[in-house]
Amino acid sequence: MARESESGLPIEPVYGPEALEGWDPSEKLGAPGAYPFTRGVYPSMYTGRPWTMRQYAGFGTAVESNARYKQLIANGTMGLSVAFDLPTQMGHDSDSAIAGGEVGKVGVAIDSVDDMRVLFDGIPLDKVSTSMTINAPASLLLLMYQLVGEEQGVPADRLTGTIQNDVLKEYIARGTYIFPPKPSLRLIADIFKYCRAEIPKWNTISISGYHMAEAGASPAQEIAFTLADGIEYVRTAVAAGMDVDDFAPRLSFFFVARTTILEEVAKFRAARRIWARVMKEEFGAENPKSLMLRFHTQTAGVQLTAQQPEVNLVRVAVQGLAAVLGGTQSLHTNSFDEAIALPTDKSARLALRTQQVLAYETDVTATVDPFAGSYVVERMTDEVEAAALELMAKVEELGGAVDAIERGFQKSEIERSAYRIAQETDSGERVVVGVNRYTIDVEEPYEPLRVDPAIEAQQAERLARLRAERDQPAVDAALAALKKAAEGTDNVLYPMKEALRARATVGEVCDALREVWGTYVPSDVF
């Protein structure tokens, strides 16, 4: 009996040559590193060196997170990935009333350039690549990173890394937005222009399907809505007067890797092919790098269980393998205890060791695109591609990603998928080991890592000292210049940088923009 994939597509018990009847490898595949990039964006992929092992971390204060980063570097991680707490993500200071109970909980608390300086103390910014998972206030964190680089004597053209900066998916699946869509897109266009001129090696956006998947999106929905958002960003930049080949090579993407290896491999291959064709046919991109869908992958946090948490080690290894077989450029493997609390030092090290085993103890790095020509994977790639293109066409019919978001289309589709998954799990049709099958009566005790609640008071004290020490008239003047730029058409990042240099806080800068642009209020009208 045929099974269904995560996207609801049939999986046959046996595939043979008939599965690819009429299938043209020259059109569908190409060579690795060549259009349409189905087989990977680089000719050699991991045969020369493995993917970047970029472990996501951050909690408590900048001091604590700095210590974790140094441990990860010592254990062999190749790139840092910063998790910020919710107040930072929402553009609020740690001493704001709305931040109560959330300071340092799900990431590191960053209120000013002072905190950013501590976060990267002793870490040479010309030697590491840093990814920052931040969206609505992404410009602020990038500029603080640049300021710390300047203090270290690192020229901006030597800084490498990525800001997530994908606010559209916040309206769809995650909720850490600040401003309405139109000024948010204007801010993203300003970031593109600023980085082209000032930080040319920086990846200006990581267009994310991960959070949609965590909210319940199927693989087809994940890539469809992510690529639709990508199209919206490209259109915004082009409308702002940029040539597509001036910014498209710095676009990157962020996807999930589930335990369903075959469909995940097919999803990644389909996404590369769709994006290459869109960039070539719709936008006329000529630089081959503009056609490449380069992406970071994180293993599926939503599939981790608090029950029998050690089983998550197996899940993460399988998910990481799916990402590698699918051709990811960088990878974060979740820690086995993340369904319970923040990762401990030991569990974070084990997560990194999982990647190292995949890279150095298996043979998956010995050849490019091991599944090329597989009857089942090529058929599934075509089917996921077709399903994704159908959803993308519906988004276009609604006027594009922003109009579809404002009508609640993507959110509604994802919620339907999430409900289906929940029903299948509750009924036992979808097996979750340790949850609805192979359970145990008594769980072994586990001592999680907990964030000290005193951190909130510590951050408030730091902010009080900062405000007492800084040149307040200089801060006020810089914030006034920022508001004037936001009211007009000037690039807001230049006055924003000067405000941050003057030690304006994240909350103060975001409040200045809130005064001009307002805040987003969601509607569910679809």
Q: Give pLDDT tens digits for 400-432.
A: 999 999 999 999 999 999 999 999 999 999 999
Q: What are the helix (H) ranges across 282-372? A: 288-291, 311-325, 345-360
Name every residue whose Cβ is closer than 8 Å to that of residue 90 and which is 6 or more positions away in sequence.
98, 136, 137, 176, 178
Q: Is residue 439 part of a domain?
A: no
Q: Is residue 410 part of a domain?
A: no
Name every residue whose Cβ is closer than 8 Å to that of residue 295 and which is 6 or more positions away in sequence.
252, 253, 254, 255, 268, 271, 328, 329
Q: At what angle do helices 181-198 and 506-517 cross, to 10 degrees?
A: 130
Return the CATH number at 263.
3.20.20.240
Q: What is the pLDDT of residue 526?
A: 46
Place of tokens 């992929």: 45
Q: Is residue 304 part of a domain?
A: yes
Half-sphere exposure (CA, 13 Å, Cβ side) for 5? 27
Q: Give pLDDT tens digits for 439-473.
A: 999 888 877 778 888 999 999 999 999 999 999 99
Q: Is residue 219 part of a domain?
A: yes
Q: What is the CA radius of gyration of the chain?
A: 23
Q: Is residue 424 part of a domain?
A: no
Per the rule left: phi > 0, alpha: psi between -120 and 50, beta: everything else, 344 is beta
Q: Give pLDDT tens digits for 465-516.
A: 999 999 999 999 999 999 999 999 999 999 999 999 999 999 999 999 999 9
Q: What is the pLDDT of residue 524?
A: 58
Mind giving me the DSSP string for 187-213?
Answer: HHHHHHHHHHHH-TTEE-EEEE-HHHH
Yes or no: say if 94 and 125 are a contact pair by the CB < 8 Å rule: no
Q: Give pLDDT tens digits for 227-283.
A: 999 999 999 999 999 999 999 999 999 999 999 999 999 999 999 999 999 999 999
| Per-residue tokens: 225 | 């809505």
Furthest-apart CA atoms within the chain: distance in Å: 74
Q: What is the mean pLDDT of residues 350-375?
A: 96
Q: Give pLDDT tens digits for 271-314.
A: 999 999 999 999 999 999 999 999 999 999 999 999 999 999 99
CA distances from 384 to 19, 123, 377, 390, 484 (A): 14, 42, 10, 10, 47
Place of tokens 């049709």: 429
Q: What is the mean pLDDT of residues 63-80?
A: 91
Yes or no: say if 186 and 518 are a contact pair by the CB < 8 Å rule: no
Q: Is residue 233 part of a domain?
A: yes
Yes or no: say if 337 and 309 are a contact pair by the CB < 8 Å rule: yes
Per the rule left: phi > 0, alpha: psi between -120 and 50, beta: everything else, 151 is alpha
Is 503 or 59 the better-scoring residue by pLDDT?
A: 503
Q: How many structural domains compose the chain? A: 1
CA–CA separation, 230 and 413 (whole Å) = 18
Q: The domain containing residue 217 runs over which residues? A: 3-403
Q: What are phi and psi of 253, to 5 degrees?
A: -130, 165
Name every residue whose Cβ is closer than 8 Å to that of residue 55 and which is 6 or more positions away in sequence.
72, 77, 80, 81, 332, 333, 348, 351, 352
Q: What is the pLDDT of residue 193?
A: 96
CA–CA separation, 16 and 20 (whole Å) = 8
The closest alpha carbon to 204, from 110, 158, 135, 149, belongs to 135
Yes or no: say if 242 and 286 are a contact pair by the CB < 8 Å rule: no
Q: Is residue 137 part of a domain?
A: yes
pTM for the full predicted model: 0.93
Q: Is residue 481 part of a domain?
A: no
